[in-house]
Amino acid sequence: MPAERDAEVDAILQSLHFSPVQPTPEFSLLAPDADPSQVAANSAALAAQLTEMLTLYQDICFTAYPDEPAVSDAMNARHARAFSRSEVRRYLHDDPGVGWALRGSTGEFVITIEQPPFRTCAIRTMTVAGFPDAQPYVDFAARVEVGRSATSIGSIDRIIGNVRTRARGDQYVGADGSNENLLAFVSTPASGSGGGAEIRFARQFVSQGRH
């Protein structure tokens, strides 16, 4: 990976509260220590949870965002609970933004909007073991970014405290020069002792263009 691409990956991940990274060759949405029998037993439920997560990601982070009033309306229509300032800080640290907790039909979801200087819409959920089939996410990204060129901005596998995070990032550039990053994260206990896996999808604007 060229030095300028290394620097770009670091800047993107730092904006989402990660330290400098080391690239890894593979990425999936499955927890690295997932129990195959547990995955098999929950395969249908996990597939349904991913479908609901991608639907929310589409509706909130692509259809409504970056129009923040439209995001608020969409969350209110779903009877989501708005976060207090301290709850927002748990996810966005010192960066400005807003967030909601949403009880879906397949699980609990957290939606956050990170405001300038970083402009990011993210959705996350806890799962029993991550998602065994990443293809629906790949298909989703191809659909929402149709007509825009894609470039991988790398992947990571990093332990911070007792959390192991694996992530993948892709940058999409339009003919008008606008560009944005789509990032996917799988976070699990670093001890590998189970405890589920948090999945997060994030859409981050890199330049002003496409709004």
Query: What's the chain's Rg over C-alpha atoms?
Result: 16
Backbone angles phi, psi at 60, to 5 degrees: -90, -50
The length of the chain is 211
How would you label 90-121 residue by residue, b for 16+ Cβ within 10 Å and e otherwise?
ebbeebebbbbebebebbebbbbbbeeebbbb
Helix (H) or strand (E) holding 169: strand 163-173
Give the model confidence (pLDDT) of 148-197 as tens digits: 888 888 888 889 888 999 988 888 988 787 789 999 999 999 887 667 99
| Cα 113 to Cα 120: distance, rounded to the nearest angstrom | 6
Residues 6 or more apart whose Cβ sits within 8 Å of residue 20: 10, 13, 14
Q: Which residues fall within 8 angstroms of residue 142, CB to CB, at 6 or more apart?
A: none
Where the chain has pLDDT below 50, the residues are 1-9, 18-25, 208-211
AA identity, residue 42:
N
Tell me the C-alpha distance between 121 and 58, whole Å: 11
Residue 150 host element (H or E): strand 149-160
Spatial separation of the C-alpha atoms in residues 102 and 93, rounded to whole Å: 20
Q: Where are the domains of the chain?
A: 3-205
Q: What's at 138, amino acid-wise?
A: V
Q: What is the pTM of this model?
A: 0.84
pLDDT of residue 207: 55
Which residue carries 């890894």 as its tokens? Answer: 24
Sign of CA dihedral 161, 163, 164, 166: negative
